[in-house]
Structure 1
Amino acid sequence: MKLNLRSLEAFRETMLSGSATAAAGRMGLTQPAVSRLIAQLEQEVGFELFYRERGRLSPTPEALIIYDEIDLAFGGLERVDALARDIAAFNTGLLKIVAPPSLSESVLSTILPRFMARFPKVRIAIESRSTATARAMVANRTVDCGFVKLPLDRSDISTVTLSTSETVCVLPDTHPLTAHEVLTPELLRGEPLVLLGAGTWTRRQIDDAFRERGVRPDVRVETHTVGSACALAAGGLGVAIVNALLADNFARPGVAIRVFRPQILHEYAFMTSALAPMNRLAAAFLEEAQTFFREQAR
């Protein structure tokens, strides 16, 4: 048996309002149209739903039994309708993001409050994983989106470039090298350095810059986040060579930042899986991230 949804609605409204006339008003139909829908439902189920006495409808025992189930079913449909409207208006949902720790501790702390002010009922889950794991999580859609440092050579990931920034040196503002606006491997000869861990693309570029200038870097501390590198440099353990975009977020009194040459650029991109369209929440978050980085570039 396949029951007509409109007939079920007419029956439910009649039960709720007490008459076909009132049900018609709630449904935007005429009273004869509601009566026809109820008659059609009675034919489909094979038993009467109402006693008809002098133009009035009184529910049969069978109608009272079936009404509870129909009311529950329509309640479920109304909840689905409300949920769909909430999703469309960004009044619900979960956005899963993967980002490097340094980005989570800096740039995201500015972007997220702005995004959540626009969509206060959306929940956020942030994952901080290794670069390889982060890319895999985005590609297989374990998370909705993420931030990645370019270059990236994967056909299963789509990227939108967000920012390009310089490499800088972070050091105490009492350090003699602050007399220079630009620091080079030659000026850093013999200086203790704080560098991000070996094996990354940027670290290889820094090592190459020193080697090409005939300078052996004195790496005193290796760490894995820009935040820790800046903190160690501020503590006097060495000169940190890091991404300017992230270093700016850790600038504080007593710390100086100088440009590093030769120029080493850092490109960050927003990534989503190339195997499926970007979902609406991720698209809205990308829009917020693009606005932030445009403002930073001014």
Structure 2
Amino acid sequence: MSSARKPIRLRSMRAFHAVLQHGSVTAAARSLGLTQPAASRLLSQLEQDLGFELFHRDRGRLVPTTDGLILYDEVERALDNVDRVQELARDIADFRVGQLRLVAPPSFLEAILPDVIARFLEAYPRVHLSIDSHGVETAKGMIAARAVDAGFVKLPLNRDDLKTRTVLVSQTACVLPLGHPLAEKTEITPHDLKGIPLVMLGRGQQFRARVEAAFAEVGAVPRIQVETHTVASACALAARGVGVAIVNEDLARAYLRGQTVLRRFTPGIVHEYAFAVSSAVEPSRLADAFFAMLPPLEPSPVTGG
């Protein structure tokens, strides 16, 4: 035979392997769901592609040659590897394996995502999930550079290297300890907070500027007792009577422990959060699956009572 050295076809390899396993072309064809002529053609094609004989033909029987026996061991290992690749591909397609990397603000991660994470991992228990928490600009940069698959960011973005889908729209509220005189109100205004110690977040950010502007409109300056950086710490300080915390209403709900109450802050200051991915690529299938687990976007209820 000529040494053609053509690429080996996977179906021909399976036919060759099945013949040696089952002892005949007929049995091999049956195991592969083929007709006997089809299996014979695959064997002949494999010998032509290889350039040497795999079998001696002896009165209708196939007896493997020495070359055929040598090749069989490698074919068996190769087919095992192919089967493992196919199994892995099925696992990936069915989300039985994989990795999802996210980034989220600390308060959003602690207040909004725990239930989502639990549902996601119940549905995809073999997926490895990692979630980082960083400052706003660092998080945006990580998403844009694809250091993570996706993330949660506060809007507006003021950049075009990210694609977003809004997931949370929340009002601003005051967190007060039980028994605080202002707890009797259903809504609290900057005028009500004149001279009241406050716990404030977001120095240098748009939200903080809007709160300070609301005070300025009534001729007041916020009496800031404590500056902090997370909704959790602001709520904890409010519970201990350090000051009234002015925070994102929906995020604050996770930190009410029976020691504090929420009252809507007016004029209304809205917080918007979005699920973001790099604009350079389409989101991964796992990122889309996580997004699908998020609760539907609903307007914040009016806080009272």
**TM-score interval w.r.t. the shorter chain?**
over 0.9
Find the partner of 1:34 among 29, 36, 39.
Answer: 39
Question: What residue is the counterpart of 1:146 in the other structure?
Answer: 151
CA contact (8 A) 1:181 1:259 kept: yes
Following superposition, the deviation at residue 277 of structure 1 comes to 1.0
Find the partner of 1:51 among 56, 60, 72.
Answer: 56
1:242 aligns with 2:225: no
CA contact (8 A) 2:177 2:241 kept: yes
1:252 aligns with 2:261: no
Matches within 5 A, 1:60-79: 60-79=65-84
1:295–1:152 CA distance, 2 compared to 1 (3 A): closer
Following superposition, the deviation at residue 3 of structure 1 comes to 2.0
Matches within 5 A, 1:198-277: 198-277=203-282
Q: Which AA in structure 1 matches 2:20?
A: M
- State the number of aligned residues: 297
Find the partner of 1:11 among 1, 12, 16.
Answer: 16
1:183 aligns with 2:188: yes
CA contact (8 A) 1:170 1:233 kept: yes
Q: Which AA in structure 2 matches 1:157?
A: L
When structure 1 is superposed on structure 2, of 97-106 and 36-45 the one drifting more is 36-45
User: 1-side partners of 2:145 and 2:18: how far apart?
Assistant: 46
Following superposition, the deviation at residue 297 of structure 1 comes to 6.7
Query: Percent of counterpart pairs with the same letter?
Result: 49
Which runs of no fewer than 5 residues in structure 2 stay unpaired? none
Q: TM-score, normalised by structure 2?
A: 0.93
CA contact (8 A) 1:174 1:254 kept: no
Q: Please give the per-residue CA displacement for 1:67-115, whole angstroms capped at 9, x wherever unaligned.
A: 1222222222211211111111111111111000001111111111111
Following superposition, the deviation at residue 212 of structure 1 comes to 2.0
Following superposition, the deviation at residue 295 of structure 1 comes to 9.9
User: 1-side partners of 2:214 and 2:299: how far apart?
Assistant: 31
When structure 1 is superposed on structure 2, of 207-216 and 55-64 the one drifting more is 55-64
User: 2-side partners of 1:177 and 1:266: how far apart?
Assistant: 23
Q: TM-score, normalised by structure 1?
A: 0.95
Matches within 5 A, 1:103-182: 103-182=108-187
Q: Please give the per-residue CA displacement for 1:152-196, whole angstroms capped at 9, x wherever unaligned.
A: 122111111112111000010111111211111111111111111
1:84 aligns with 2:89: yes
1:294–1:79 CA distance, 2 compared to 1 (3 A): farther
User: 2-side partners of 1:297 and 1:56: how far apart?
Assistant: 81
CA contact (8 A) 2:169 2:299 kept: no
User: 2-side partners of 1:133 and 1:170: how far apart?
Assistant: 28
CA contact (8 A) 2:12 2:43 kept: yes
1:283 aligns with 2:288: yes
User: 2-side partners of 1:295 and 1:49: how far apart?
Assistant: 72
CA contact (8 A) 1:159 1:270 kept: yes
Following superposition, the deviation at residue 16 of structure 1 comes to 2.2
CA contact (8 A) 2:170 2:300 kept: no
User: 1-side partners of 2:269 and 2:128: how far apart?
Assistant: 36
Q: Please give the per-residue CA displacement for 1:3-61, whole angstroms capped at 9, x wherever unaligned.
A: 22222221112122222111111222111221222122222222221222232222222
User: 2-side partners of 1:144 and 1:94: how far apart?
Assistant: 9
Q: Which AA in structure 2 matches 1:138?
A: I
